[in-house]
Amino acid sequence: MQIGDMQVEMLSDGTMRNDGGGFFGTVPKVLWERAMPPDERNRVNLKLNCVLVRAGGKNILLDTGVGAKHNVKTQHIFYLDTGHLPADLGRHGLAPEQIDAVVFSHLHFDHAGGATQRDAAGSLRVTFPRAQHLVQRTDWDEATHPNPRSAGGYFEQDFAPLRQANQLELLDGDTQIAPGVWCRVTGGHTAGHQIVTLEVDGRTACFFGDLIPTPHHLPVHYTQAYDLFPLDVMAKKRELLTRAVREQWLVLFDHEPEHPVGYVTQREDGRFGWKAAEA
């Protein structure tokens, strides 16, 4: 996809399954199961979508998926088929060493896990050895000092090696990291959750992260049980989706398995809809 002079490619680290009730929060199963049918363990299939942005002479990766280093128990719980991001990157003509920056929407394991991997000796190493890894300071503080409710979403092995390798950059609020490439704080899902907007020549593309993980979460009141601040999620969704309709944003979803790219629409009754586009 071409956004002005930026090249944007959808990548994937693979798939996982997550509890449908957790993924849709207070939305009754009778409603969400029509859009995302669960398996026999009530898990829905999620894609681990990442985005490659070529802008300003830099190769920028948005999120990294789960990676391939998690133990058998975690693999079984989440039915992981992951660790495919480096190979998918190769299909787009790039090696991990050619990534200049990695932006995390947040540090939950399904977004940050692919940033590190184990070598043949079992030692942890950074997957993208020349990249600076950018995350909001608030999210870093939350991940490194989680509360009992949020602790299950973080694995220190995913992000601690980044600081040890001096490849971590903590952001304090909205930040432009390359011409037209903006990290913008939303909060909601986590206190420091951020989205990435690509703004060039009057056009905007937006990677929503887990603020809006699939098109099925477009209804403003559809929040996840994992959202730490659901009312903030609802307010920020309404604000961003209204702009997306008005300004015809191209939007990218992180967990949508079939149609991760498209445009938001709005009906006469105010509800938001969706028109898929080619990825």
For residue 278, the model assigns a pLDDT of 80
Amino acid in position 80: L
Alpha-carbon distance of 134 to 170, in angstroms, equals 6
The fold of the 2-276 domain, in CATH, is Metallo-beta-lactamase; Chain A (3.60.15)
pLDDT in tens, the chain (279 residues): 999 899 999 999 999 999 999 999 999 999 999 999 999 999 999 999 999 999 999 999 999 999 999 999 999 999 999 999 999 999 999 999 999 999 999 999 999 999 999 998 889 999 999 999 999 999 999 999 999 999 999 999 999 999 999 999 999 999 999 999 999 999 999 999 999 999 999 999 999 999 999 999 999 999 999 999 999 999 999 999 999 999 999 999 999 999 999 999 999 999 999 999 986
Contact 48, 66 (CB under 8 A): yes
**pTM: predicted TM-score of the whole model, two decimal places:** 0.96
For residue 134, the model assigns a pLDDT of 98
The first and second tokens of residue 204, run together, are: 């905007």
Alpha-carbon distance of 201 to 199, in angstroms, equals 7
Alpha-carbon distance of 134 to 224, in angstroms, equals 24
The first and second tokens of residue 135, run together, are: 């995350």
Q: Would you report the helix, strand and coil content of the chain in percent, each value rounded to 5?
A: 30, 30, 40
For residue 51, the model assigns a pLDDT of 98
Contact 254, 111 (CB under 8 A): yes
For residue 137, the model assigns a pLDDT of 98
Alpha-carbon distance of 59 to 49, in angstroms, equals 17
Alpha-carbon distance of 249 to 52, in angstroms, equals 18
For residue 120, the model assigns a pLDDT of 86
Alpha-carbon distance of 47 to 37, in angstroms, equals 14
Summarize pLDDT for 23-39 with one digit per residue, the tens: 999 999 999 999 999 99
